């Protein structure tokens, strides 16, 4: 019998807004000079594991796209 996927998780990475000055300099919308590329990944661990020692694509549950945006969000079920 398979376990039910009854827990929904929303993971959101946010960056500070670009409206604030950097070293006294203001930037124009969409503030690309102040944003970094982001990505988040969720992996399945075995019961006796605390962390992964290396990237394992076979244990990847979900991954966000790599993007240069103010927010990067993903939703998945456990």
Per-residue confidence (pLDDT) for residue 51, from 0 to 100? 93
State pTM to two decimals.
0.63
pLDDT digits (tens, 9 = 90+) for 11-37: 888 887 778 888 888 888 778 888 888
Per-residue confidence (pLDDT) for residue 13, from 0 to 100? 86
- The share of the chain scoring above pLDDT 90, in percent, equals 19
Per-residue confidence (pLDDT) for residue 3, from 0 to 100? 62
Per-residue confidence (pLDDT) for residue 74, from 0 to 100? 87
- The share of the chain scoring above pLDDT 70, in percent, equals 94
Domain ranges of the chain: 8-77
DSSP 4-63: P---EEEEEEE---TTS-BTTB---TT-GGG---B--EEE---TT-SS-SS--GGGEEEE
């Amino acid at each position: 019998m398979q376990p039910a996927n009854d827990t929904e998780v929303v993971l959101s990475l946010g960056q500070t807004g670009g409206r604030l000055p950097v070293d006294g300099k203001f930037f124009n919308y969409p503030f690309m000079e102040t944003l970094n590329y982001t990505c988040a990944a969720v992996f399945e661990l075995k019961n006796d594991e605390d962390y992964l020692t290396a990237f394992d694509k076979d244990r990847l549950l979900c991954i966000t796209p790599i993007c240069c945006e103010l927010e990067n969000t993903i939703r998945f079920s456990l």
